[in-house]
Structure 1
Amino acid sequence: MASEQDGRPAVRIARLWDGSSPRLSRRSMLRSMAFFALAAQGAAACGVGAAPPTADSAAPDGSPARNDVDEPVLNFYNWTDYIDEDTIPGFQEETGIRVVYDNFSSNDELEAKIASGAAGYDLVVPTDNFLRRFLRSDLLRPLDHDLLTNLDNLGSRFRTADYDSGNRFSVPWAWGTTGLAYSPARLDTEVTSLSAFDLPSAQGRSILLDEARDGLALGMLALGHDPNSTDPAELDEAVDFLLELKSGLGQITSDVIEPLSSGQAPLAQAYSGDVFQAQEVNPDLVYVIPEEGGLSWVDVLCIPKDAPHAENAHRFIDHILRPEVGARLAEAVQYGSPNDAALPLIDEALRNDPLVYPPEDELARLPFTADLGPEVEARYADAWTRVKTG
């Protein structure tokens, strides 16, 4: 589905992460601002450059290398605005493994890199529905559970999830929901429904996420359809709805944090944690699951089949699964933690926030984005292209 774009705002920084870098207050600024500050520290703190070099990808007999280059390096490819500033320095200090950290802006970008077989990444973070695509394309290696001593810290929901039951190929990084962000002061009303996009005060300034499944789900939900519908007629109806909606939008983009925090956008379809980060700068913002419903999703850690340092990737995954590390990550990114052992350590206000950890009845209105199979996924990609270009 190469035409589909999805994800969070893009910052393409490949760098060697130095644990001696100054630590920034996680509550004082957006994660994106923290990344630019870290990158600006200079050569003594980080190296900015191209993606990591690729190790030999094949064994002498021509089979894929089971690899492991014996060097203390981990090449990590993650979404932007999506890590605690202490995570990598803490791992480096404890293990002596040097982390080369790079960011991507969409699952499609990630898939293209990994499918090329020449990216050299050891650890990547796809979303759950893309994980199944990666598995169909044989892009991942199974996890060695003997190296994951903290795996039992995961909640049962994430050990039995249908996208990877038993965590054979993945371990969840964070999870969240897709709903609406809005400014009561700017819109001069409370928002409870997707009909808010029709408000005069939202015209020309609202945002629709630039991601096929999320964007089309908004159209499906507004029309009372299942956001995972496989019905071509319903998909066409969603396209028509979004084309009409598009005339009153400000923009279609996945870069929602800055427009929300600056007040430029008074209404946006958005990922939950992005809104909570933007609230640190703009406390007027409110996040809501509209009455029509929304989506749930999980981003997962997994190891590409040709990873040159797979054992180091396992060590990082096990590090993340430690309760104190998982708790700090959750507090930094403002998304739900899949780590049950970390929950008691997470700030009580965050842990008890129903927008971060929705109750069971609310989760029923927030289905996961289903993998609909190659044919239907391609249909969604084509439908999104019609929305974007129509």
Structure 2
Amino acid sequence: MKQYQPEQLSATQQAAIRRSMAGGRGALSRRSLLRASGVGALTVGGVGALSACGIPPAKREGDAPAASDDHSKQEKQIAFSNWTQYIDISDDEKSRPSLNAFSRRTGIQVKYTEDINDNVEFFGKIRPQLAAGQDTGRDLICVTDWLAARFIRLGWAQKLDPSNLPNAYAHLSPQFRSPDWDPGRAYSYPWTGISTVIAYNAKATGGRKIESVSQLFDDPALKGRVACLSEMRDTIGMTLLDMGKDPAKVTDDDYDAAIARVQQAVDKKQIRRFTGNDYTSDLDKGDIAACLAWAGDLVQLRVDNPDIKFVIPDAGYMTSSDNLLVPAKARHKTNAEKLIDYYYELPVAAQLAAYINYVCPVEGVGPELAKIDPELAENTLILPDKAMAAKSHSFRSLSSKEETAYEEKFAKLIGA
């Protein structure tokens, strides 16, 4: 697997990556704040709050959200809510080139708002309007797969019109084509993919490779220098894979066995802590020798520290995604679909991937990305090759009851 070196990046690209590390989608605004504290918020204020607010935990089978009036022809505009630093930004940080190009081409003006700090908080922000059947003031939102599944389950996402999405349909990577929570992508398209892999600091391990979750949990040389993620689906998913179980088919018994496996590592103090992406500082310094990690963070970390390595375990790795949806009652559905489709044009997809460094869900983007930076086009953390994609696994969608029970058990495990 080719590793790329810091000196191979341009000064502009290194500056962009450092901006992303400081305040981007992969930085504390999402991972540390959500994953370090969001588990409790999910179980107490998220799933559980649905019933307390008089909101059904799931829509009835066969129900569909009521069609909304589409004002796209009369109103050439879109309101798009996204995470911070999750789109390309000009060198002077005063404009968003890809959005500007879309507006020039289509005449559709985009009100782009970076008002998603974590999934739980954002869901709480717009839930009252959706539950009341009101427009949220947003035509397009970007949320992580488990929350996207909840929107669809509750009937709070509009079904997309395939005729407005020719590029998206043609270019969506097979790896992301048909999640169980949205078969055939009827309601959503991924903005980026998020891969969970094993990372280690070669200097801290004395040059030893760390290649499996079993090593993380059992190697005495790593005792007290291991970190796992405070995202349940990632840590438990990677544990399930190591145990020979498929996270896409997880049963209650499988889940409990994985919880017990992690608990053993906690009890013998093998695991130092559970973290959001604040593991990056400790990994960089070598205070953490090895950990479960998000690929987007590793692309960024390796700019300054070539001792940071990553491994795709033989057992496989977990993949999740952040997804574009049109909320119920949005006024500009067709305009939003045009914007989704625009980001599946190969040159535009490459422009976005070169800036944010997460997994690009657009098949065939490699040659366009190579025009921007040949090294990025060869980085399998951004463009997984077929061998890597074949090892990817997703956690199956959970019912409201399962989600609450699973998150509560995990919260107890990690002390949240």
Give CA-to-partner distance per residue, 1:43-77, whole Å, 9 cap, x none: xxxxxxxxxxxxxxxxxxxx775364866654333
1:346 is matched with which residue?
A: 369
2:62 is matched with which residue?
A: none
2:12 is matched with which residue?
A: 25
Give the counterpart letter for 1:318 in structure 2.
D
Give CA-to-partner distance per residue, 1:218-273, whole Å, 9 cap, x none: 33234333334543333222222222323333332222444444555332211222
Say which of 190, 209, 213 aligns to 2:233: 213
Higher deviation after alignment, 300-309 or 267-276: 300-309
Say which of 288, 293, 307 aligns to 2:311: 288
TM (norm. structure 2) is 0.70
Give the counterpart letter for 2:271 in structure 1.
L
- Residues 251 and 66 (structure 1 numbering): CA distance in 2 closer, same or farther, change over 3 Å? farther
Contact 2:216 2:291 in 1 (8 A): no
1:14 is matched with which residue?
A: none
Q: CA deviation at 1:191?
A: 0.9
Give CA-to-partner distance per residue, 1:169-209, whole Å, 9 cap, x none: 11221224211111111121111111134445644443211
Give the counterpart letter for 2:347 in structure 1.
E
2:294 is matched with which residue?
A: 271
- Residues 151 and 228 (structure 1 numbering): CA distance in 2 closer, same or farther, change over 3 Å? closer
- Residues 234 and 156 (structure 1 numbering): CA distance in 2 closer, same or farther, change over 3 Å? closer
1:47 is matched with which residue?
A: none
Contact 2:160 2:187 in 1 (8 A): yes
Q: CA–CA distance in 2 between the matches of 1:338 and 1:259?
A: 30
- Residues 270 and 68 (structure 1 numbering): CA distance in 2 closer, same or farther, change over 3 Å? farther
Q: CA deviation at 1:345?
A: 0.7
SS, match of residue 100 in structure 2:
helix
Task: Give ranges in structure 1 of 5+ residues lacking alignment.
Answer: 1-23, 37-62
Q: CA–CA distance in 1 between the matches of 2:242 and 2:127?
A: 35
Q: CA–CA distance in 1 between the matches of 2:389 and 2:96?
A: 32
1:19 is matched with which residue?
A: none
1:148-297 equivalences in 2 (<5 Å): 148-155=165-172, 157=174, 160-163=177-180, 164-188=182-206, 189-194=208-213, 195-199=215-219, 202-246=222-266, 247-255=269-277, 256-261=279-284, 263-297=286-320
1:108 and 2:133 matched? no
Q: CA deviation at 1:126?
A: 2.5
TM (norm. structure 1) is 0.75
1:90 is matched with which residue?
A: 98
Q: Which of structure 1's runs of 4+ aligned residues deviate more than 6 A?
A: none
2:137 is matched with which residue?
A: 120
Q: CA deviation at 1:139?
A: 1.1
Q: CA deviation at 1:165?
A: 4.1
Task: Give ranges in structure 2 of 5+ residues lacking alignment.
Answer: 1-10, 26-65, 131-135
SS, match of residue 293 in structure 2:
strand
Aligned residues: 341
Q: CA–CA distance in 1 between the matches of 2:13 and 2:252?
A: 45
Contact 1:159 1:166 in 2 (8 A): no
Give the counterpart letter for 1:180 in structure 2.
I
Q: CA deviation at 1:151?
A: 2.9
SS, match of residue 190 in structure 2:
strand
Give CA-to-partner distance per residue, 1:92-147, whole Å, 9 cap, x none: 35416243322535443443334332653322223334433221101101223444
2:391 is matched with which residue?
A: 365
Give CA-to-partner distance per residue, 1:13-58, whole Å, 9 cap, x none: xxxxxxxxxxx9233333133659xxxxxxxxxxxxxxxxxxxxxx
1:99 is matched with which residue?
A: 111
Contact 1:260 1:278 in 2 (8 A): no
Contact 1:91 1:319 in 2 (8 A): no
SS, match of residue 111 in structure 2:
strand
Contact 1:179 1:295 in 2 (8 A): yes
Q: CA–CA distance in 2 between the matches of 1:345 and 1:270?
A: 27
Q: CA–CA distance in 2 between the matches of 1:343 and 1:113?
A: 37
Cα RMSD for the two superposed structures: 3.2
Q: CA–CA distance in 1 between the matches of 2:338 and 2:402?
A: 37
1:329 is matched with which residue?
A: 352
1:66 and 2:69 matched? yes
Q: CA deviation at 1:149?
A: 5.0
Q: CA–CA distance in 1 between the matches of 2:304 and 2:176?
A: 35
Q: CA deviation at 1:275?
A: 1.2
Higher deviation after alignment, 126-135 or 353-362: 353-362
Q: CA–CA distance in 2 between the matches of 1:315 and 1:88?
A: 17
- Residues 147 and 227 (structure 1 numbering): CA distance in 2 closer, same or farther, change over 3 Å? closer
- Residues 106 and 267 (structure 1 numbering): CA distance in 2 closer, same or farther, change over 3 Å? farther
Q: CA deviation at 1:351?
A: 3.3
Q: CA deviation at 1:286?
A: 0.8
Q: CA–CA distance in 2 between the matches of 1:99 and 1:281?
A: 35
Contact 2:82 2:112 in 1 (8 A): no
Say which of 133, 155, 162 aligns to 2:150: 133
Greater helix content: 2
